[in-house]
Structure 1
Amino acid sequence: MKLSVVIPVYNEVNTILEVLRRVQAVPIPKEIIIVDDGSTDGTRQLLREVKENNIRIILNQRNRGKGFSIRRGFEVVTGDIIVIQDADLEYYPDEYPILIQKIIEGKADVVYGTRFLGARRVFHFYHYLANKCLNLAANILYDTNLSDLMTCYKAFRSNVLKTLHLRANGFGIEAEITGQLFKRRLRVYEVPISYDGRTYDEGKKITWRDFFRALYWLIRCRFETLDVGEDTLFRMKLMENNNRWIFEQLKPYLGDHILEIGSGIANISRFLVSPDKHFILTDTNGYYLEYLRQAFVGNPRVHIMPLNILSADCTDGLPFKVDTILCINVLEHIMDDELALENIHKTLDENGRLFLLVPALQALFGSLDEKLNHFRRYNRHELSAKIRAKGFTVNKLYYHNFLGALGWYLNARLLKRKTMSSMQIHIFDKCVFVLSKLESAFSIPFGLSLIAVCTKNKSMRT
């Protein structure tokens, strides 16, 4: 385990070397990234004399703010766990083991060191009051119970850090980080730390203006869409009736050894698990893989692993032969979908089954497809031809969810929305029972999706 310590510094000539000494004294393998934010008091001259091999120094051409410096440091970290360390002496590096323990144990994605639960120097009442107000705002906005969002001491798993899209340049980055973490529903722990708060005479830099900047970032992160694909997955997770409807359609075709390509956050996977079957849940996204590991942590029949279906060695490392592959809302995200189908064919055991669900009707392609990084939507004959060409027999091929197609046309083509409406999703999910009965009774000539049930032929056509 390697630790990366990011130290933003601005005019800390009296403390920076002592901070470095304390950080280096922590008995954990580490790299130290120092980002000087245009210091004018001699700090840069001291940093140029630092020669340790595990220290990297980045110099901003001018003063850009704490947030900008932290972001620059994050860009170059290589450790497994990342910690932010201020360049003053308010925080104690010898408490790193406390800060990172829950991450090492696999219980947390991020850990905050809270100044209000541990030993601390008595400091400014108005700073304390401002912190309480910001914590209250965060807890209301994100339905949580955080006690110290403005703490410097935050520790992250590296793959979690890579999912953040940070933009704040000043002290507002503390609120932006907090907003994005809770928006992504990550596992955040707090642990008590010691705190030796400075006075303004001793060099404290945060001001009353930063309260309003932090409040701005909390509100902005709460109501903006950070990642359309991720946001869509979490909204679809709430569509219990719709997800069960999809599951009921694939259930009759499940074998005993099942591979799901692009499992995401287990919207369908959670219905699959049963005591008489074995599953491999896969994704290319590290955050989703960790989510899956936590969701199925105690189930020995569920294997979680990364898988890129375009890779020539995509079958390497599979724990067993696969008789069923599920590919639900994945193929449209792959540029070379024919190669994906070819590799799916290679992965399946003889006479194995492929259950495929893709967006239907290129005429529906619109703003939502663009935001979701869809390369295409499929027409019935086009999909059938591609599947057959790669060595499958198409047992069933039909349109699914005609009401969703009408909603998609309204939102993606006419209104040109960039995200799915939560209210519309809620209303639609309430209609699924009636919709499913209609579609089981009548053959509908269009739909939001196409569903294909296929069987692998003995040899692939060329």
Structure 2
Amino acid sequence: MTDQAAAVLAPPPAAPRLPDTPCPLSEANAARGRVQSLRRLSVLVPLYNERWTIGPMLQRLLCAPVSLELEVIVVDDGSTDGGADVVAAIAEGDPRVRLIRSPQNQGKGAAVRRAIAEMTGDVAVVQDADLEYDPHELPRLLRPILAGHADAVFGSRFAGGERRALLFWHSLGNRVLTTAANMLCDLNLTDMETCYKAVRADILRELRLTSDGFDLEPELTCRLAQWGARIYETPVSYRGRVAADGKKTSLMDGLRALWRLAACRFWDTKFTDHTGMYVLRSCDRAKRYNRWLMRQAAPFMGQRLLEAGAGIGNLSQMLTARERLVLVDHDPLYVEMLRDRFAGRGNVAVLQTDLTEPGFDAQWQSEALDTILCSNVLEHLEPHEQVLEGYCRALRPGGHAIIIVPAEPGLYSPADEALGHYRRYTPEGLERVMRQAGFITVHTRQVCKLGAAAWRVNGLLGRKNLTPRQMLWFDRMWPVMRAADPLLPWRGMSLICVGRKPS
């Protein structure tokens, strides 16, 4: 690293002067702006042959001291004991209860997944049809989510709450499964198998869940960890049952849970169908490459920086020493994740901006920006000339726009199309567009030649996905790939271009 780069990346020696912010500092440090929009709780109840417990459970649930509007979705999973008729009678007298009938038994996971598809709430919690878990403890489960601290809360039976003494072998099996989940998902839970899991509905809808049986619990845990959700635990009471009381889990269910954990961790790693989120989490695995990228950009970075298309903050986390850091994205999901991630930092502001809207830069004018960083965003925007012109207007004279894009139109592949790329760039083409936008090009570099070869092979094979495993191996190989760049005769797959606004 050059002395100049090190100086730019290093934190300032003295505490920075806090700039004028678009909102009071107390609001900038608040937990979550979305909290006020959490208005409805969806309680998801899978039902199978629990005729004698479903009625008392629903009565207790409907009078639970929950501050949110309540929606109860009961999915009858092919019951043969008349339990669904009990729910139907309750639903006739209370519109908060909805009954969905499945003609045949498919399993708890299938019932919960159907309920997820039907729910309309802002927070969801799974409630078994028996009374092992007390609905009057739902406020305790919801508190960290409503306070803006958590995306998911697990009600732990082993964190100090009142509980019935469990059978030893069931308890041992739970410890084994929880330990396996902690090791594979890098968590520190005390009770992975708990039924009581409250999850923000916007995240739950995006998770890729496929389990039909009791292995939904480890699958949901693993998917939340892969999403990067903030998981909390809170103690809950538990009145466990045994087989004679109707308990339906068995040793085979424990083995299936272990298999599901391994599958989610090692080969079935696609945790969401939200393409952008999956790609961003995958790219977060390339930490060596991301650090190297920031070292290349460091000589052109000032102290008042805006990152356009910040996503979930993969690069933003390395920029927080700036006097002022403005993070911009158009996706509400990413905007809220950024606000969560950087809450408490008075020098960081997060804005929701659509870069394709004319005059999008107007809200940035008061920031006196000396740097705009735009990494792997411009190729997603059809009016890229208009976007670069907006960057130039937002910068103060002498400021820099650091643009990182995929290079070489000849490498355009099904993966580019799946990622939403309109184009790949040549150095000459990007420099021309930068000049037309009003910039003076001061630095251009094309990198990652071995990566270009790998991308071409992926294109020939018709591959569309960019997986966490691929990015992890890319990151491990980056020192070799970087050393190979001067030796190989073809062009690289990525392009770095820096433009300066004339003084």
Is TM-score (shorter-chain normalized) higher than 0.5? yes
1:303-342 alignment, distance < 5 Å: 303-311=349-357, 314=360, 320-321=366-367, 323=369, 324-334=371-381, 337=384, 340-341=387-388
- Structure 1 range deviating more: 22-31 or 344-353: 344-353
Report deviation, 1:74.
1.5
2:309–2:375 contact (8 Å) kept in structure 1: yes
Count of residues in Structure 1 that have an aligned counterpart in Structure 2: 451
Alignment correspondent of 2:79: 39
Alignment correspondent of 2:343: 297
- Structure 1 range deviating more: 280-289 or 113-122: 280-289
For 1:379 and 1:429, the matched residues in 2 are separated by: 24
Report deviation, 1:287.
5.0
Report deviation, 1:65.
1.6
Q: Where does structure 1 lack aligned partners over 5 or more consecutive residues?
A: none
Alignment correspondent of 1:134: 177
1:283–1:289 contact (8 Å) kept in structure 2: yes
1:81–1:155 contact (8 Å) kept in structure 2: yes
Summarize the Cα distance change of 1:333–1:63 in structure 2 as closer, same or farther, 3 Å threshold. farther
Alignment correspondent of 1:54: 96
For 1:87 and 1:18, the matched residues in 2 are separated by: 9
SS of residue in 1 equivalent to 2:401: strand
2:444–2:496 contact (8 Å) kept in structure 1: yes
For 2:120 and 2:393, the matched residues in 1 are separated by: 36
1:7-406 alignment, distance < 5 Å: 7-28=45-66, 29=68, 30-49=70-89, 50=91, 51-117=93-159, 118-223=161-266, 224-226=268-270, 230=277, 233-234=280-281, 236-237=283-284, 239-254=286-301, 257-275=304-322, 277-311=323-357, 314=360, 320-321=366-367, 323=369, 324-334=371-381, 337=384, 340-341=387-388, 353-366=400-413, 368-369=415-416, 372-387=419-434, 391-396=437-442, 398-406=444-452
1:357–1:449 contact (8 Å) kept in structure 2: yes
Report deviation, 1:395.
1.6
Report deviation, 1:8.
1.4
1:401–1:447 contact (8 Å) kept in structure 2: yes
For 2:262 and 2:202, the matched residues in 1 are separated by: 25
Summarize the Cα distance change of 1:268–1:90 in structure 2 as closer, same or farther, 3 Å threshold. same
For 2:180 and 2:319, the matched residues in 1 are separated by: 39
Report deviation, 1:68.
1.4
For 2:58 and 2:434, the matched residues in 1 are separated by: 60
Q: Percent sequence identity over matched residues?
A: 37
Q: Which has the higher contact order (CA 8 A, sep 6+)?
A: 2
Q: Where does structure 2 lack aligned partners over 5 or more consecutive residues?
A: 1-37
Summarize the Cα distance change of 1:404–1:300 in structure 2 as closer, same or farther, 3 Å threshold. farther
SS of residue in 1 equivalent to 2:424: coil
Report deviation, 1:363.
2.0
For 2:416 and 2:83, the matched residues in 1 are separated by: 50
Report deviation, 1:7.
1.3
For 2:385 and 2:500, the matched residues in 1 are separated by: 16
CA displacement 1:337-359 (0-9 Å, x = unmatched): 45655665676678865322110
For 1:414 and 1:266, the matched residues in 2 are separated by: 32
For 1:221 and 1:288, the matched residues in 2 are separated by: 24
RMSD of aligned residue pairs (Cα, Å): 3.3
Summarize the Cα distance change of 1:456–1:42 in structure 2 as closer, same or farther, 3 Å threshold. farther
Structure 1 residue identity aligned to 2:476 = H
SS of residue in 1 equivalent to 2:143: helix
For 1:346 and 1:182, the matched residues in 2 are separated by: 40
For 1:245 and 1:98, the matched residues in 2 are separated by: 44
For 2:474 and 2:85, the matched residues in 1 are separated by: 59
Summarize the Cα distance change of 1:244–1:125 in structure 2 as closer, same or farther, 3 Å threshold. closer
Report deviation, 1:87.
1.0
Report deviation, 1:302.
0.6
Report deviation, 1:379.
2.5
For 1:283 and 1:59, the matched residues in 2 are separated by: 41
1:364–1:412 contact (8 Å) kept in structure 2: no
2:73–2:98 contact (8 Å) kept in structure 1: yes
CA displacement 1:112-158 (0-9 Å, x = unmatched): 11122322122333322322221232223223332222111001123
Alignment correspondent of 1:425: 475
- Structure 1 range deviating more: 246-255 or 180-189: 246-255
SS of residue in 1 equivalent to 2:51: coil
1:179–1:217 contact (8 Å) kept in structure 2: no
For 1:334 and 1:70, the matched residues in 2 are separated by: 38
Structure 2 residue identity aligned to 1:107 = H
For 2:409 and 2:313, the matched residues in 1 are separated by: 27
The reply on whether 1:447 has 2:447 as its aligned counterpart is: no
Report deviation, 1:86.
0.7
Give the structure-2-normalised TM-score. Answer: 0.78
Summarize the Cα distance change of 1:66–1:186 in structure 2 as closer, same or farther, 3 Å threshold. same
1:166–1:176 contact (8 Å) kept in structure 2: yes
For 1:11 and 1:45, the matched residues in 2 are separated by: 11
Structure 2 residue identity aligned to 1:22 = R
CA displacement 1:52-91 (0-9 Å, x = unmatched): 2322332223322211111122123333322111111111
1:159–1:286 contact (8 Å) kept in structure 2: no
For 1:348 and 1:59, the matched residues in 2 are separated by: 59
Structure 1 residue identity aligned to 2:295 = E
- Structure 1 range deviating more: 176-185 or 86-95: 176-185
Structure 2 residue identity aligned to 1:245 = W
Summarize the Cα distance change of 1:207–1:284 in structure 2 as closer, same or farther, 3 Å threshold. farther
Report deviation, 1:216.
1.8
For 2:444 and 2:280, the matched residues in 1 are separated by: 24
CA displacement 1:428-457 (0-9 Å, x = unmatched): 14765x679x69xx9x97322122333569
Structure 2 residue identity aligned to 1:111 = V
Summarize the Cα distance change of 1:13–1:302 in structure 2 as closer, same or farther, 3 Å threshold. same
Structure 2 residue identity aligned to 1:225 = T
